[in-house]
């Protein structure tokens, strides 16, 4: 009969962080992939609904033209989210198997996600502003229309900052917890 393990060895091998983040990674990756597919589907659905609802009217044609300019950014964002979801799913599996490459891939994913969130928000601000301006022109030309472009511009800026904050919470938390030496020591 062998003696029980030393307390230090028991503590070093019992960190729940890799398992917890592995599970969260897998769930988050699945939600990200579903969200990306939903975004692509909504572009097609919006085009179909608007073209059937009032094809030939000036307002609908203006909307579709402005929306088509925005659609390319939806496709880029969706493709990026799918790539990030696959990366995060792989990292989650690695963490559940207690592999060091799972931790390294998680850190790489977190940095990439933070950078991509900032870049996508900055890239889409210009086209989104143009879209809002075109829609403002349409509503202003209608009876009783009011110019809301300044308010919409302010709301868009606030929304962009809030989006970056919300999109970066989980990657930052992942970086903080998975970069700890105690977590790296548990992984092989």
CA 104: distance to chain centroid? 20
Q: What is the pLDDT of residue 11?
A: 47
The pLDDT tens digits for 3-46 are 776 655 544 457 899 999 999 999 999 999 999 999 999 988 88
Q: Calculate the dihedral angle through the C-alpha atoms of 90, 84, 174, 117, rounding to the nearest 10 degrees.
A: 180
pTM of the predicted model, to two decimals?
Answer: 0.81
Between CA 138 and CA 145 the distance in angstroms is: 8
CA-CA-CA-CA torsion sign (46, 47, 48, 54): positive
Chain segment 148-185, per-residue pLDDT in tens: 666 777 888 888 899 999 999 999 999 999 999 999 99
Q: What is the chain's mean pLDDT, rounded? A: 86
* Residue 121 CB-half CA count within 13 A: 18
* pLDDT score at 54: 64
């Amino acid at each position: 009969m062998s003696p029980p393990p030393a307390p230090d060895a028991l503590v070093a091998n019992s960190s729940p962080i890799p398992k917890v983040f592995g599970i969260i990674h897998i769930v988050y990756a699945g939600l990200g992939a579903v969200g990306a597919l939903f975004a692509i589907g909504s572009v097609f659905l919006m085009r179909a609904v608007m073209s059937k609802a009032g094809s030939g009217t000036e307002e609908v044609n203006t909307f579709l033209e402005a929306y088509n300019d925005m659609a390319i950014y939806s496709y880029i964002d969706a493709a990026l989210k799918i790539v990030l979801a696959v990366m995060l799913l792989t990292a989650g599996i690695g963490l559940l198997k207690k592999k060091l490459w799972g931790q390294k891939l998680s850190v790489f994913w977190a940095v990439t996600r933070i950078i991509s969130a900032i870049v996508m928000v900055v890239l889409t601000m210009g086209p989104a502003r143009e879209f809002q301006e075109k829609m403002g022109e349409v509503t202003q030309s209608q009876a009783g229309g009011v110019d809301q472009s300044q308010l919409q511009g302010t709301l868009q800026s606030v929304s962009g900052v809030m989006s970056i904050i919300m999109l970066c919470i989980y990657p930052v938390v992942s970086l903080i917890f998975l970069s700890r030496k105690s977590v790296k020591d548990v992984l092989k």
